[in-house]
Amino acid sequence: MKLIIKFFAEVTIKSPQVRKRFVSQLRKNLKVLLKAIDPDVRISGNWDSLEVITGDDPALQTALLARLRNTPGINHIHEVREYPLGTLDELAELCVERFTDQLAGKTFAVRCKRVGHHPFTSNDVNREIGSRLMLTGVPAGVSLRDPQVVVQLEIRQQRVFLIQARHEGLGGFPLGTMEPVLSLMSGGFDSTVASYQMLQRGVLPHFVFFNLGGRAHELGVRQVAHYLWEKYAASHRLRFISVPFEGVVAEILQNVDNSQMGVVLKRMMLRAASRIAHRYGYHALVTGEAIAQVSSQTLPNLAAIDQVCDMLVLRPLITTSKTEIIRTARRIGTEAFSSSMPEYCGVISVSPDIHTNVRKVEAAETGFDFSVLDAAVEQATSTDCCDLELELEGSQVETVEQALAGQVVLDIRHPDEEELKPLELEGVEVLKVPFYQLNSRFAELDPARAYLLYCEKGVMSRLHAQYLLDRGHDNVRVLRLPKG
- H or E segment to which residue 464 belongs: helix 459-470
Cα 140 to Cα 127: distance, rounded to the nearest angstrom: 16
Q: Verify whether residue 95 is a known catalytic residue.
A: no
Which residues contribute to the annotated binding site? 184-185, 266, 288, 297
Distance CA 345, CA 359 (A): 24
Binding residue numbers for ATP: 184-185, 266, 288, 297
CA-based end-to-end distance of the chain: 61
- CB atoms closer than 10 angstroms to residue 390: 11
Closest to 290 measured CA to CA, from 328, 258, 260, 257: 328
Residue 97 CB-density burial (10 A; 0-12 exposed, 13-18 middle, 19+ buried)? exposed
Task: Give dist(CA 349, CA 343) in Å, integer.
Answer: 14
CB 43 within 8 A of CB 34: yes
Selecting among 95, 345, 385, 455, the annotated active-site residue is 455
Q: Which alpha helices (H) appear in 296-427, and where do they start and end?
A: 299-306, 322-332, 335-339, 358-364, 370-378, 415-420
Taking alpha carbons only, the member of 7, 8, 9, 2 closest to residue 55 is 2
Q: Determine the angle formed by the axes of helices 214-232 and 189-200, rounding to 10 degrees.
A: 30
CA–CA separation, 177 and 47 (whole Å):
16
Residue 462's H or E segment, with its range, is helix 459-470
Give the count of alpha carbons within 13 A of 60, CB side only: 17
Tell me the three state secondary structure of residue 2: strand
Q: Where are the alpha helices (DSSP H) in 70-155?
A: 88-99, 122-135
Give strand ranges (E) for 189-335. Answer: 205-211, 239-244, 284-286, 312-314
In degrees, to the nearest 5, what angle opens at C-alpha 276 toward C-alphas 347 and 194?
Answer: 65
Nearest to 3 by CA among 100, 74, 98: 74
Sheet containing 408-411: order of strands = 399-400, 476-479, 451-454, 408-411, 429-432
What is the residue-wise DSSP string for 42-66? EEEE-SS-EEEE--S-HHHHHHHHH
* Residue 172 exposed, middle or buried by CB count within 10 Å (0-12, 13-18, 19+): buried
Phi first, then psi: what are they for 342, rounded to 5°?
-70, 140
Q: Which residues are catalytic?
A: 455
